[in-house]
Structure 1
Amino acid sequence: MRTTARLLTGTALALATLAIGAHGVHAEDVDSLEIFPSTATPGTVIIVNITICGTGGRGVGDARALGVEEFKLAPGTHKEVVGGQFRVPDHAQAGTYAIGVKCNNGRHASGDLVVRHHSQQPSGHVNTGVGGSVGPDTTKIAAGVAVLATAAVGGTLLLRRRASGAQDR
């Protein structure tokens, strides 16, 4: 039992170390731009954040592919984050648009914004296998109640037997 526990613990630690190492490499990939939301409809306000401009840095954002003027980036509430925002124009066509940022320190980054129209939004039920987005199934409910009732009766009988001392040792 202890050998199995040690094996599982060692494996979990090794996987955690690999995950942290991979995350560290990704964190140094400074060419990525955080765009929220990354999928939007016309009229949505887009927030852009980046850390490569440095503490207290500033920059300029470029969303001209969407027909938006340059937007300014300024220090945010976190000292290492520089951010800005713009609005997706009402006339924007559906598609993927490159958004760029150039910092005053000369560094630059880019990311993609996907524009969809309301008619392109997903609709309907999500079939994940969990939850109740589809009507209840009375057969499954009855089966679940029967299983719970059986477990409750069995547990009660077991507890009464233990309490009376009828259990063999």
Structure 2
Amino acid sequence: MRTTARLLTGTALALATIGIGAHGVYAADIDSLEIFPATATPGTVIIVNINITICGTGGHGVGDARALGVDEFQLSPGSHKEALGGQFRVPDHAQAGTYAIGVKCSNGRHATGDLVVRHHSQQPSGHVNTGVGGSVGPDTTKIAAGVAVLATAAVGGTLLLRRRASGAQDS
């Protein structure tokens, strides 16, 4: 029993260590921008953040969204002391697609990220035909059959437990 407990404890600690290590690697990935929202429609205001360690303390950056037809935008210290932030608006004439957004810091370092532009007509709508099941509307026959199966299972389970409790078990 103790060997099993030690094995499980050791496995849990190893997984926790791997999880912490993976998070540390992700946090050190300083070549990417945080773009919110990452998927937008024309007219949406986009917020771009970059870790301050990329541009350096007291540094600033210039954002580049010219692929979208947007003039350069400035990044400056924002509400988070670890980040520089800036924003721009997706132009109404922007075509659907993926656009590279870049930032060049005053110290010469670069960071990039992607923004996906969709149009309202491209938003998913309707039902998804996956072949797994489901229904468009309520089917009373299927609902009644499901209720009957559940009721039968509940009655059968109750009778089995009563039989065990009364001591009338089969050997």
Report TM bin, short chain: 0.7 to 0.9
Deviation at 1:152, TM superposition (A): 2.0
In structure 2, distance between residues paired with 1:36 and 1:161: 61
> Secondary structure at 1:132's aligned position in 2?
coil
Deviation at 1:68, TM superposition (A): 1.1
Deviates more, 1:117-126 or 1:8-17: 8-17
Q: Taking structure 1 as the reference length, what is the TM-score of the superposition?
A: 0.74
Instruction: Report the aligned-residue RMSD.
Output: 3.5
Change (3 A) 1:133 1:59: farther
Q: Contact 1:57/1:103 (CA < 8 Å) preserved in 2? A: yes
> Secondary structure at 1:52's aligned position in 2?
helix
Provide, for residues 107-129 of structure 1, a one-character-per-residue CA deviation record: whole Å limited to 9, x for no partner. 32011112222233333223568
Change (3 A) 1:157 1:67: same
Matching residue of 2:10: 10
Q: How many residues align?
A: 169
Q: Taking structure 2 as the reference length, what is the TM-score of the superposition?
A: 0.74
Deviates more, 1:63-72 or 1:97-106: 97-106
Identity over the aligned pairs, expressed in percent?
Answer: 91
> Secondary structure at 2:148's aligned position in 1?
helix
Could you tell me which runs of 5 or more consecutive residues in structure 1 were left unpaired when the two chains were aligned: none
Could you tell me which runs of 5 or more consecutive residues in structure 2 were left unpaired when the two chains were aligned: none
> Secondary structure at 1:51's aligned position in 2?
helix
